[in-house]
A = this chain, B = another copy of it.
Amino acid sequence: MLKDKHPLEAGNIADIMANIGKVAAASARQLAIVGNEQKQAALIGMAESILRNRQAILSANALDMKAAKKSKLSKAFMDRLKLDEQRIEAMCEGIRAIAELPDPVGTVIAEWDRPNGLHIERVRTPLGVIGVIFESRPNVAADAGALCLKAGNAVILRGGSDSFHSTRAIHQCLVEGVEKADLPPGCIQIVPTTDRIAVGEMLHGLGGTIDVIIPRGGKSLVARVQQEARVPVFAHLEGLCHVYIDKSANLEMAKNIVVNSKMRRTGICGAAETLLVDSKVANAYLPQILQALSKAGCQIRGSKEVQAIYPQADSAKQEDWSTEYLDAIIAVKLVDGIDGAINHISKWSSNHTEAIIAEDAMAVERFFNEIDSAILLHNASTQFGDGGEFGMGAEIGIATGKMHARGPVGVEQLTSFKYRVRGNGQIRPN
């Protein structure tokens, strides 16, 4: 690691980071007025460079994997860290898909005329400089770099120490693509040290040069970022997603959606963690649904009322209603219709994604109106809570805050806007 080779003292790190901020701000100003073709060329160049240099990337990744093995990091961690030919190709595919997206910058979002003849347009602009702080997955460097560039933003990448060699190798390819398209290399920078002081500097905004921080990783990383950041943050801390089965639900559909919401992938933020069932249909529906979950390998933790109907269930404790398992475990509770469901979800939800399975339109409308989560689904799996599934092409994460970006953060969410007002000599009367 660079840290070992060139010991950087705290003072040096602050200087290095301040300089990275300045370079990013200057690059962002240049990038903001670049057309779509040039950005597309840079993105395609990035994908080509990654493909051409895949052996070097795999060698760098092997170094990280060796160190991870030595440090006895978990199997799940090693899986997130590992790169192979297939994952490298997927990374390139992702970048190419982003290249093909329409350019959000310059898009007129709204326009109107005033009685005095002024014509007002609200137009998308880049946000400026985005700091991305991530952990083990090296592909985040490629996804985040490509999305930020497409939206006209400079990005400062700070990967985890365990993926340092891999992300540095990928970053070199990204810069190659950027430079080939005659864009400033400062558009995509990487923090050259794994010292945590550098993260602290980023969270303080590098002298006002960083416009937003996006953390990608586990709960402790996101919590640290949310607590310490002095600049806006797009983040989700947890995806504590609920599925509610109304008495009007179609049983077969409910069963399929619950199993898919929980078990398709248990480790993603859109996976369901709590199942709420209308007590009016509990006797009729619960056994089949819980058997299907169990058959799919899911552990069931139920309230007493659930255990009375399905004795195989383990006991759910209070803490189960607030736990994001990210595993093949589900907490199950009976509720008193749509009111009970809304109350439970409003109390425990992390405001990420919730689904209602129902045929009763009134219940659906109340669920949609009264629950304040980023994504609400009717008769569909919570696993659709994803930017790609929304047709946004790619996402840098799901934001659970209510400011600026909410839900999947794709290229559009990485932009701001400004007003352009055209007149012909208007002055404002007193």
Chain A residues near B (Cβ < 8 Å): 29, 32-33, 106, 112, 114, 118, 120, 125, 127-128, 211-212, 232, 250, 253, 256-257, 259-261, 264, 346, 364, 368-370, 372-381, 383-384, 389-391, 402-404, 406-407, 416-428, 430
Contacts and interface: CB of A to CB of B under 8 A. Distances in A.
A403 B404 contact: yes
Given A373-B418, A425-B256, A427-B381, A128 B402 contact: yes
A416 B403 contact: yes
A172 to B, nearest CB: 30
Contact of A376 (B250, B380, B421): B421
Contacts of A426: 379-381, 384
A376 B423 contact: no
A250 B389 contact: no
A232 B264 contact: no
Nearest to A254: B425
A207 B324 CA distance: 22
Contact of A32 (B118, B128, B372): B372
Contacts of A381: 426-428
Contacts of A369: 33, 106
Contact of A406 (B32, B128, B346, B417): B417
A20 to B, nearest CB: 20
Contact of A370 (B33, B212, B377, B379): B33
State the majority secondary structure of interface residues on A.
mixed
B33 A428 contact: no
Given A416-B403, A418-B373, A389 B424 contact: no
Given A232-B403, A416-B402, A379 B422 contact: yes
Contacts of A261: 427
A379 B381 CA distance: 53
Contacts of A127: 402-403
A378 B118 CA distance: 9
Contacts of A112: 391
Contacts of A346: 29
Nearest to A123: B368
Nearest to A418: B374
A260 B114 contact: no
Given A232-B232, A379-B424, A406-B418, 9 more contacts: A29-B346, A106-B369, A118-B384, A118-B389, A264-B430, A376-B421, A378-B421, A381-B428, A390-B419
A369 B425 CA distance: 21
Given A232-B232, A389-B114, A418-B373, A427 B378 contact: no
A425 B379 contact: yes
State the 10 A-B residue pairs at the shortest beta-carbon distance, nearest first.
A380-B423, A260-B427, A402-B416, A404-B404, A383-B428, A380-B426, A253-B425, A377-B421, A379-B423, A381-B427
Contacts of A404: 403-404
Contacts of A375: 418-419, 421
A25 to B, nearest CB: 11
A351 to B, nearest CB: 9
Contacts of A256: 425, 427
A251 to B, nearest CB: 12
A392 to B, nearest CB: 10
B428 A372 contact: no
Contacts of A374: 418-419
Contact of A211 (B376, B390, B402): B402
Nearest to A120: B390
Given A376-B420, A418-B374, A419-B407, A427 B120 contact: no
A238 B384 CA distance: 43
